[in-house]
A = this chain, B = another copy of it.
Amino acid sequence: MALTVVGSIAFDSVRTPFGERERMLGGAATHFALAASFFDEVRAVGPVGDDFGDGEYEILRNRGVVTDDIEHVPGGKTFFWAGRYERDVNIRHTLQTDLNVFEHFEPKLSQASQDADVLFLANIQPDLQRAVREQCTGARFVAMDSMNLWIDTARDSLVRAIGAVDLVLMNDAELRMLTGEPNLVVAAHRIMEHGPTIVVVKRGEYGAALFTGDDTFAMPALPIAEVRDPTGAGDSFAGGFLGFLDGLGAHSPSNGELRQAMVRGSALASFNVEDFGTERVRRLEREDIDTRVNAFKNLTHF
Residues of B within 8 A of A227 (CB): 183
Residues of B within 8 A of A224 (CB): 185
Chain A 237-267 interface mask (CB, 8 Å, partner B; 1/0): 0000000000000000000100110110000
Name which of A27-35, A51-59, A211-219 contacts chain B. Answer: A211-219
Contact B301 A225 (CB under 8 A): no
Residue A203 at the chain B interface, CB threshold 8 Å:
yes
Task: Name the contact of A302 in the complex, choosing from B89, B176, B223, B263 (C-beta under 8 A).
Answer: B263
Query: How many of A's residues come within 8 Å of B, CB to CB?
Result: 39
Contact A220 B219 (CB under 8 A): yes
Contact B217 A209 (CB under 8 A): no
Residues of B within 8 A of A205 (CB): 184
Q: How far is the CA of A299 from the CA of B259 in the complex (A)?
A: 10
Closest residue to A184 on the B side, CB-wise? B223
Given the known A-B contacts A88-B182, A203-B206, A302-B262, are A220 and B220 also in contact in the complex, defined by CB atoms under 8 Å? yes
Q: How far is the CA of A277 from the CA of B219 in the complex (A)?
A: 29
Chain A 268-302 interface mask (CB, 8 Å, partner B; 1/0): 00000000000000000000000000001101111
Residues of B within 8 A of A106 (CB): none
Contact B182 A225 (CB under 8 A): no
Chain A 140-156 interface mask (CB, 8 Å, partner B; 1/0): 00000000000000000
Residues of B within 8 A of A223 (CB): 184-185, 209, 211, 216, 218
Q: How far is the CA of A203 from the CA of B205 in the complex (A)?
A: 11
Residue A47 at the chain B interface, CB threshold 8 Å:
no
Q: Distance in Å from the Cβ of A244 to the closest Cβ of chain B?
A: 12
Residues of B within 8 A of A211 (CB): 223
Chain A 181-217 interface mask (CB, 8 Å, partner B; 1/0): 0111110000000000000000101110101000011
Given the known A-B contacts A88-B176, A176-B88, A203-B206, are A300 and B219 also in contact in the complex, defined by CB atoms under 8 Å? yes
Residue A20 at the chain B interface, CB threshold 8 Å:
no
Residues of B within 8 A of A217 (CB): 299-300, 302
Q: How far is the CA of A219 from the CA of B221 in the complex (A)?
A: 10
Closest residue to A204 on the B side, CB-wise? B206
Q: List 16 A-B contacts (CB under 8 A).
A: A86-B182, A89-B183, A90-B182, A183-B225, A183-B227, A184-B205, A184-B223, A185-B223, A203-B206, A207-B218, A209-B223, A216-B223, A216-B299, A218-B223, A219-B220, A219-B300
